[in-house]
Structure 1
Amino acid sequence: MHLRILGALAGVFALGACDQAAPLQTSAPRDQVITALDEQARAIHLENPSTSLSVAVVRGGQVEFIRLYDRTATGQTVSGAQEPIFEAASLGKPVFAYLILKMVELEILSLERPLYQYAPDLFDDTDPRVQDISARMLLSHSAGFKGNAAKAQKALRFDPGTSFSYSGYGYGMLQKVLERRTGLSLETLARIHVFEPFNMPSTSFQWQTAYDYRIRLGYDSDGNPIGEKRKPVSGSAAWSLHTTAGDYAHFLAAMLDETHEPALKQMMIKADTKITGAIAWSLGWGLQASEPSPSIWHWGSNPGYRSYAVGYPKEDIGIVVLSNNEKLFEQIEPLIINTIGGNLPSYHWF
């Protein structure tokens, strides 16, 4: 791992009490890691037979394996078109953040320039504080917006840049500015700068025809089908990402790669907003004081779907878990810890 990146991430947190961590399985034999995962995932599936659970493990800069647990495969290594599609929700936010930082590199956007100067008509001018909001603030959830994309979320909770308030609405505002500046859709930009370079052929912010045959339909916390599946005709940075565990693991592996775009990666793992002694936010990823070293993470939560991704930059190990059942979320934490090790302070925060 690049020393500047390690220094940035290690400096995020003061030492503090964390949940007991399991050793990271950086050098354990592949079969041993799969056996540990199978034990956890098969038990989950046995209790929830309608559930689909897809898990990808990243080690040493590579997507080492992808395992599927559902009615068609209760523990099978899969790849490519064999993988089902899941609604990944907020796992799209780090993807979007990376895209924005590419636009900053190309001088299409500025991290610091107030976005009001690019597109004043997109902002509620009844509150003059919106004129101070920058892309940096929106990516790190420090602009003051609250909640998701509802129109009622325009009101600011605090002065921009002074605190933390997780906001899908803020990401939506930044998406509108990006599309205005480039004249291109989120989907087009993401395909050019993220999906194609990082080998994510099954990933999209918009509904694809092939998804009709590959999607795993969601279940609520009572185990009931959620009903008609949403099929977004236009992309939303805040919630509409659809992907496979393997595709998203390729993105995670790229984020852990110390040799590729180290300056950009440093911005994605350096704390812009500190929240608690164990949790902070970068430009896209959540950061946590995990053991044996800090890690990047994000979760996804849409009706019928729960997901989580975590990566340890120092040890170059990570995992992506996608599921189509809301009640599985509490079971994903022990699955991750028993498969790759470490611990997840973020699970006890959000």
Structure 2
Amino acid sequence: MKTILLLALLLLSALVAPAQHAGLAALLQQQRVPGMQLIHTKGGKTTAYSVGQRRAGQAAPVTAGTIFQAASLGKVVLAYAALRLVDQGRLDLDQPLLTYGPYPRLNGEPRAARITARMVLGHTTGLPNWADNPLGPTWKTSVLRLKFAPDSCWSYSGEGYAFLQKTLEHITGESWEVLARQQVFGPLKMTNSSFVWQPRFAANAATGHDKAGKPTEIRQFQEANAGFSLLTTAADYRRFVQALATGTGLTPATARLLTTAANAANRCGHAPTPTDARIAWACGVGLVNTSRGPALWHWGDNDDCQNFFLTFPATGESLVFFTNGANGLRLTDELLRRFVGPGEYYTQQWLNEK
């Protein structure tokens, strides 16, 4: 009887996988997203899909090894590395960052002396998202001014993460790429991840696409920026998400900072909405009270690629997906319902309100 049941389950799995793949391909086509990697983990079982093309109009398929831009999902990697340094006694979350080293772009901004790592990780620094194009030639010398008083309200800031990245480089004497390898990629065996372009990525890298589904470029970042330059795969990033959910590599007290609200997401200059009550922010990661329970989450958006993860620490279930299209986040709710199950997840509703 057990043998018959096992054979039946294997047959069912063989029938479901192609149907699911076809359904995902249709969903991508509907939203003009050329390609996607997706990994769902539940109960110790991991299901992975690679769907579509690396570049629209060309035959080369997305595979499990295709390199995607992770965009702002790199911020969570910086947060995890910072917490590792806290455990090593090298960083104090509440010590003003300017006491560790200078940041010339903030010269002439007296309120910046209050900014701490905890504020950066919770997006309460008061800094803008980006004061200038961070890929442009003048970004490093552009003047940076606060939009809001530090620790007064929630305002998403890539500039804050750039400031913290520079601080970690001051503290350790290492570049961010080296630090990421030491503190994250190496320990978690993320062998296909880097914050700078690697020549080995060229054979299997995804091209970005705009909202119409037209190709843009393969971004070959030459300088590491924790805010947006992470290049990786869903398989590698799933390892990272599992580490977040379990607190791997962190002391128990520090690991709790990833699952405990540091502040409510009371958005600066934004009228409260019903969804706000569902969202809070921990040290570097979003918290959401879904209809299926509390979860950690974050999104990534480099304009021509969009990505997402959500994980339930209580069960270890997670969904990670990477897309090479500007409409990728439109897939989020449908993918969550297909893989995690029916329910309300609130993250996209909240993002659409900002």
> TM-score if structure 1 supplies the norm length?
0.83
**Displacement of 1:260:** 5.8
CA distance, structure 2, for counterparts of residue 134 and residue 218 of structure 1: 34
- In structure 2, the CA distance between the partners of 1:129 and 1:258, relative to structure 1 (3 Å rule), is closer
Superposition deviation, residue 206 in structure 1: 0.7
Looking at structure 2, the residues matched to 175 and 183 of structure 1 have their Cα atoms a distance apart, in angstroms, of 12
Out of 174, 179, 194, which is 2:184 matched to?
A: 194
Q: Secondary structure at the match of 2:130?
A: coil
Deviation at 1:39, TM superposition (A): 5.3
**Secondary structure of 1:104's match?**
helix
**Mapping of residues 103-252 of structure 1, within 5 Å:** 103-122=85-104, 124-148=106-130, 150=132, 151=139, 154-226=144-216, 228-252=217-241
Q: Secondary structure at the match of 2:124?
A: coil
Q: Return the alpha-carbon distance in structure 2 between the equivalents of residues 49 and 161 of structure 1.
A: 40
Q: Which residue of 2 aligns with 1:299?
A: 299
How far apart are 1:242 and its partner, in Å?
0.7
Shift in Å at residue 153 of structure 1?
Answer: 7.4
Task: Give 1:97's aligned residue.
Answer: 79
User: Tell me, what secondary structure is at the counterpart of 2:293?
Assistant: coil
SS of 1:166 mapped into structure 2: coil
Aligned to 1:57: 40
- Check conservation: 2:103, 2:163, Cα contact below 8 A: no
Change (3 A) 1:332 1:240: same
Structure 2 CA distance, aligned partners of 1:259 and 1:87? 24
> Does residue 348 of structure 1 match 2:330?
no
- Measured in 2, the distance between the counterparts of 1:242 and 1:169 equals 19
Task: Specify the alignment match of 1:5 in structure 2.
Answer: none
Q: Of 27, 47, 60, which aligns to 1:44?
A: 27
Change (3 A) 1:111 1:154: same
Contact 1:33 1:339 in 2 (8 A): no
Q: Work out the CA distance in 1 between the residues paired with 2:45 and 2:226.
A: 24
Q: Which amino acid aligns with 2:307?
A: S
SS of the residue corresponding to residue 320 of structure 1 reads strand
Instruction: Name the CA shift for 1:102/1:252 in 2 (closer, same or farther; >3 Å).
Output: same
Bigger relative CO (Cα 8 Å, ≥ 6 apart): 1
> Could you say what secondary structure the match of 1:296 adopts?
strand
Aligned to 1:15: none
1:157 deviates by 2.1
Task: Give the 3 Å change call, closer, same or farther, for CA 211–131 of structure 1 in structure 2.
Answer: same
Residues 49 and 71 of structure 1 are in contact (CA less than 8 Å); yes or no, is this contact kept in structure 2? no
Q: 2:245 pairs with 248, 252, 256, which one?
A: 256
Q: Distance in 1 between matches of 2:256 and 2:219?
A: 35
Alignment check: 8 A CA contact 2:78 2:226 kept: yes
Structure 1 residues 117 and 101: alpha-carbon distance in aligned structure 2, compared to 1, 3 A threshold: same
Q: Give CA-to-partner distance per residue, 1:147-184, whole Å, 9 cap, x none.
A: 12625672212221121100001100111111122110
Describe the superposition over 1:79-106 as per-residue Cα deviations: whole angstroms up to 9, x where unpaired: xx84211001001111110000111111
Aligned-partner residue type, residue 40 of structure 2: V
Give me the TM-score of the superposition, normalised by structure 2: 0.82
Q: Deviations over 1:190-248 (max 9, x none)?
A: 1111111112100111101111111110110011111x432111210100011101100
Amino acid at match of 1:250: R
* Secondary structure of 2:290 counterpart: coil
Structure 2: any 5+ residue segments left out of the alignment?
A: 1-8, 55-62, 133-138, 266-275
Q: Deviations over 1:326-350 (max 9, x none)?
A: 1232123202221112532110111
Distance (Å, rounded) in 2 between the aligned partners of 1:50 and 1:157? 35
Counting aligned pairs with the same residue, the percent is 32
Confirm or deny: 8 A CA contact 2:286 2:297 kept in the other structure: yes
Taking the aligned partners of 1:247 and 1:323, their CA distance within structure 2 comes to 15
Q: How does 1:65-80 map to 2 (within 5 A)?
A: 65-71=47-53
Between 1:46-55 and 1:153-162, the stretch displaced more is 46-55
Contact 2:176 2:224 in 1 (8 A): yes
Change (3 A) 1:322 1:50: closer
The one-character-per-residue Cα deviations of 1:257-276 (angstroms, maximum 9, x if unpaired) are 26763322211121112022
**2:334 corresponds to which letter in structure 1?**
P
Change (3 A) 1:230 1:35: closer
Aligned length: 313
